[in-house]
Amino acid sequence: MRLLGRTALSLAAGLVTIRVVAAQTPSVDQIMLEVAKHQDQAEQLRKKYSYTQKVRIRALRGNGKLSREEYCVYNMAPTEKATKKQLVQFKGRYETKGRIVEYQKPGEEIPNKKIDIDADLLPDLRDGLINDEESRDGLAKDLFPLTSAEEKKYQYELEAEETYKGRQVYRIKFQPKKGSQGFDDDQTVWAGEVLVDKAELQPISVTTHMAKGLPFLVRTTLGTNVHQLGFSVTYARFDQDVYFPVSYGGEFDLKVLFLYKRTLTISLGNTDFRRGEANSKVTYQKAER
């Protein structure tokens, strides 16, 4: 009887422990609701800061050799509704007839070349991905669906609880929510995962990939296709509760009109953060990826 009594007590204690642990772990909807709230707050906090942004974008040929590269350094200054970017440094280079030629103006075309797709593509791609005028950090808002406006278009699943670089995190997967407003538009196309700091309920990193392919008609009629399209962003905290994306990158293959084929890469680093309301200065080196 004593043995049965002890066994019953042990089982009861185990059940209580399980219930306590379950009660301490919020649902994925609760987690993402807090993440969205913090991201909305971050949008407001970031307008108080200036910083330096460095962007490198490259186009590689099918054989892996460089076709064109552009490197930009911007001073980023907050305004009431967005962030003003001032180009303070530019370096470009392209390959032509086996030689690497440097140039000093974004999108400069190769002389005497009838069609120079890279010259137009690289500036357009840079503007589309990291020059969103309505974003505090320039990153296109629909690339990383964490704000309250974007989250409602996606469904989330708690994958695991683990340790990442010494921090306890939630690993959460997401994909477009079928039947939601925006499911069939051209912006709600991403799936991926986000690491959320358990203590702060702030995102640490987000990785995405395309959840939908290009329409069959586009691929067959125009000969256009995209492979391995996806992006990643890393966030860091500094100056108490302010979180900023400190590194960003992506790589994908593009084929257009059956003739043009490139591997395109983009990388971004935000550093040298300065609070605009004071003379203090906070520096943060580019995070490792």
**Cβ-Cβ contacts under 8 Å for 263 (sequence gap 6 or more):** 59, 60, 62, 64, 251, 252, 253, 254
CA–CA separation, 199 and 179 (whole Å): 33
**How high is the pLDDT of residue 239?**
67
Q: What is the mean pLDDT of residues 233-252?
A: 83
% the chain with pLDDT above 70: 71
Q: Range of 240's domain?
A: 27-282
Residue 158 has pLDDT above 70, yes or no: yes
Q: Is residue 41 part of a domain?
A: yes
Q: Is residue 90 part of a domain?
A: yes
Give the residue-averaged pLDDT of 83-92: 91
Query: Does residue 13 lie within any of the structural domains?
Result: no
Q: Report the number of distinct structural domains present in the chain.
A: 1
Which pLDDT value is given to residue 281? 47
**pLDDT of 206 over the 80 cut:** yes
20 inside domain: no
Asked if residue 191 belongs to a domain, the reply is yes
Domain-located, residue 4: no
Query: Which span out of 82-91, 180-189, 214-223, 253-262 was modeled with the highest average pLDDT?
Result: 82-91
Residue 289, domain member (yes or no): no
* Cα–Cα–Cα angle for 7, 10, 12, rounded to 5 degrees: 110
